[in-house]
Chains A and B, each alone.
Chain A
């Protein structure tokens, strides 16, 4: 191309738009995605409380009773309810996404997405029931 073309002097003047800090509010699916990412904080919180509980259990019955009393305080109940909501959101959204990541083929045919997600839900119910049975029996 000849350097004399009128277009050339302006060619490097691209316009680049900066991504807004609020990009995740621009569409519902972006917001849903950011919330799903945020759930990891609450999943970690759930795990930490559990570890804390195990530590108290190791310290003896008195420590454990104190711990339980603390967990019954309104602050912890609110925090737990919030964490539960986020953990449920985390599980459900990931189960729904599972068929995208796992392509299961049976006899050369791709297993329908609904079945792959359904298997995840079924495993969830079975494991939850097993844990509930274990806890309620004792």
Chain B
């Protein structure tokens, strides 16, 4: 087993350079280390100026998404020992503006996420006296998968459509819209359809399918978008019928 491994890390220091450059660091190779451990080693021991985001170290917070050896990945879930031999390339998430080193600006996603109303919409709340909104296991099953999203943005970074058309609302936002649409307690699907059927909504997606492959929580955003397209198309056909609601 090698003693050390090289990390080729993308650096971008806006005060000093106009384009990112690559800096190599030699870190100890340990079987139980993930890329994030190596980055923290660099930060603590080798170069305190390296900037990156992280928090939980256990695939829950969604902060440490970066491009590892060309693939969008959670660095806390990428073991050094699973990477092919040679330097490990660590770059910021693709398609997002880089603020510094490995830190990207995610304002665009935050704005889009809010647009799809990722919360339970009720026309009228039930009086408290009637108790909680109950769900059967089947009703929970209908949306549970989509609720696992941790907003890590690996799916955006995997989506060439988002890269080419930054106005595209994107995989996670649509999957989260679908999470609430499928929720038996929610009554906001018509409002979300209005937002997601416009030009930058679901129809921008041409089903590359990479978002689903990149997702560390098995949310399957590509599936969510295609299912949503089907619902939307069915809704449109219904409006054509004389007895359909317009």
Residues of A within 8 A of B (CB): 9-11, 13-17, 19, 23-24, 26-27, 29-30, 33, 37, 97, 100-103, 108
Instruction: State which of B27-35, B127-135, B223-231 sits at the interface with chain A.
Output: B223-231
Contact present for A14 and B98 (CB under 8 Å): yes
A19 to B97, CA, bound (A): 12
Q: Are A10 and B160 in contact (CB under 8 A)?
A: no
B226 pairs with A101, CB closer than 8 A: yes
Which of A13, A17, A23, A100 interacts with B160 by CB under 8 Å? A23
Please, how many angstroms separate the alpha-carbon atoms of A29 and B213 in the complex?
A: 10
Contact A15 B98 (CB under 8 A): yes
Interfacial residues, chain B to chain A (CB-CB below 8 A): 12, 14-15, 18-20, 70, 94-95, 97-99, 105, 138, 141, 160, 163-164, 206-210, 212-213, 220, 222-223, 226-227, 229-230
B residues near A16, Cβ cutoff 8 Å: 97-98
Count of CB-CB pairs between chains A and B under 8 Å: 65
Q: Are B210 and A19 in contact (CB under 8 A)?
A: no
B97 touches A14 (CB 8 A): yes
Structural contact, B209 and A19, CB atoms closer than 8 A: no
Q: Which 4 A-B pairs have the closest CB atoms?
A: A101-B226, A14-B97, A13-B14, A15-B98
Tell me whether A97 and B99 are in contact in the complex, defined as CB-CB below 8 angstroms, given that A13-B14, A17-B94, A30-B160 are known contacts: no
Q: Roughly how many angstroms separate A36 CA and B160 CA in the complex, as a whole number?
A: 15
Q: How far is the CB of B90 from chain A (nearest CB, A)?
A: 15
B20 x A15 contact (CB < 8 A): yes
Considering the chains assembled together, what is the distance between the CA atoms of A71 and B97 in angstroms?
53
Residues of chain A contacted by B14 (CB below 8 angstroms)? 10, 13-15
Residues of the A chain whose Cβ atoms lie less than 8 Å from the Cβ of B227: 101-103
Q: A15-B19, A24-B160, A100-B212 are in contact. List 4 more A-B contacts (CB 8 A).
A: A14-B99, A15-B14, A16-B98, A100-B209
Q: Judging by beta carbons under 8 Å apart, are B208 and A19 in contact?
A: no
Identify B222's interface contact among A14, A30, A100, CB under 8 A.
A100
Taking CB atoms, residues of chain A closer than 8 Å to B209 are 29, 33, 97, 100
Please give, as numbers and ranges, the residues of chain A lying within 8 Å of B98 by CB-CB distance: 14-17
The interface centre, meaning the residue of A17, A103, A108 with most chain B CB atoms within 10 A of its CB, is A17
Q: Can you name the residue of chain A whose Cβ is closest to the Cβ of B210?
A: A29
Check B230–A19 contact: CB distance below 8 A: no
Q: Within the complex, what minimum Cβ distance (angstroms) separates A32 from chain B? A: 9
Q: Are A19 and B160 in contact (CB under 8 A)?
A: yes
Q: How far is the CB of A112 from chain B (nearest CB, A)?
A: 14
| C-alpha gap A97/B208 in the complex (Å) | 10
B210 engages A101 (CB within 8 Å): no
A19 to chain B: which residues have CB within 8 Å? 95, 160, 163-164
- Say whether A108 contacts B230, CB under 8 Å: no
Q: Once the chains are docked, how many angstroms separate the CA of A17 from the CA of B92?
A: 11
Q: B99 — which chain A residues lie within 8 A by C-beta?
A: 11, 14
Bound together, the chains give a CA A29 to CA B229 distance in angstroms of 22
Contact A102 B19 (CB under 8 A): no
Chain A's nearest CB lies how many Å from the CB of B157?
Answer: 12
Complex A-B: 8 CB contacts under 8 Å: A11-B99, A14-B98, A16-B98, A23-B163, A33-B206, A97-B226, A102-B230, A108-B138
Q: A24-B160, A30-B160, A33-B209 are in contact. Are A15 and B223 (CB under 8 A)?
A: no
